Amino acid sequence: MRELISGPKSQLELWELSRSGYVLVDAASQAMIEYSDDATSPLRGFEGQDATYLGPGEYVVAMPNGQAMNALNGAPREELSVNRIGEVTDQIGALAATADVYSLQNRSRVGITAVPPPVGTNVQFRIPSYGYITGCTVLHNTAAEGRCGWVAATIVMRYWHARSGKVLIPAAHRTGTNIKAVSGADFADLIRNGRSMASWGLPVADGIGYHALTRQKVASQAWYNWASTNVNSALNAGRPVILFGSLPDAYVNGKSIPHAVVAYGKSKDGHNIVHYTYAGKQAVVLNSGVVASNTHFMLR
C-alpha cells in the first residue's frame, strides 16, 4: 500500500496487487476510485518519490530537480502545490464517496481494439451545425505536451462562437468565425490561463468556464462528470461534450493513450462520433477505450 499526497479531507492510497493490477482508494471515505486487475501500477518505477493523483491519467510524481512529471507518459507537470493538490484530491474523494466510480469506470469498460474508424455512413445522429466542429482549425497537439484537453476546449468554444454569434474567440485568435493559429501562446494556452497541463474534466471545465463567463462576459456554465455520465443527454440536447480517458491511439492499432476528444453525435451501433483533436481525425467512431470523465459547456 502506498499513501499519496492528499488534501485534509481525503486520504488517497494506491494498493499494488502482487503480480499485476492496482486499486486506488480514498481511505477517508472507503471509496474506490480506480481499479485494474491486469494493468501495471501507474507508479511502478517511482518508489520513494512523492506522488499524487490529480484525475484520470494524472498520476504525478515529484522529481529530484523540484519539478514534477506525469508518471504514465513522462510529460512535465508544474511543481506539486500543496494547495492545488488539496483542492483536487478533496473533490475527487467527495465525488468518490457519493458515486459508484468503480462500476462507472471499469465494469463496463471496453478493451482497446484498433484505431478509431472513420464514421463514413455509420451515423445515427449528429448535433446541429456539427460542421463547426469538423471544420474547426486544429491547434498543434501532441501526447507529450498534454494539450489534448485544452485543444478540445478550443473546438468547443469555436462551435458555440460560430453557432450562437456570441464572442467566445477573442479577435487576436480568430479569423472569421474560426480559430487562428498564431506563433507563441495560442487560443488553447489562453483558455488554460496558467492552469496545470493536467487534462481531465475538472481543470478544463474550470478553464472554459472562466474564459467564457469572466473574460468574454458570455452568460454560460461549464461543469464535469465522472465516466460517461450525462454524455448521451447532452448530445441528445444538441451539445458537444469533451471526453477524457484511456482511449485508442489514433494511429497505432492496439495501443491506448491518455487523451481527450470532442463527442458530437452517435453512430448507428451506439458509439460516440468524435473529433480526435488531431487534424484529419475530425470524424471517427470511438468504439473502444474507457471514458473516465467528461466536460460540458452551455450558454445561458
Instruction: Sketch out the chain's domains with CATH numbers.
Output: 2-107 (no CATH), 125-299 (3.90.70.10)
What distance in Å separates the CA atoms of residue 239 and residue 247, rounded to the nearest whole number?
21
Q: What pTM, to 2 d.p., does this model score?
A: 0.70
Rounded (5°) CA angle 190-92-287: 75
Tens of pLDDT, residue by residue over 239-293, are: 999 998 878 999 999 888 888 999 999 999 999 999 999 999 999 999 988 787 8
Q: Where are the alpha helices (DSSP H) in 33-173?
A: 82-98, 101-102, 131-134, 148-164
Tens of pLDDT, residue by residue over 29-72, are: 667 777 776 678 899 889 889 999 887 778 999 988 878 888 98
Average pLDDT over all residues of the chain: 86
Q: Max CA-CA distance within the chain? A: 57
Q: How far from chain centre, in Å, is Cα 77? A: 15
The answer to which of 20-29, 60-69, 115-124 has the lowest mean pLDDT is 20-29
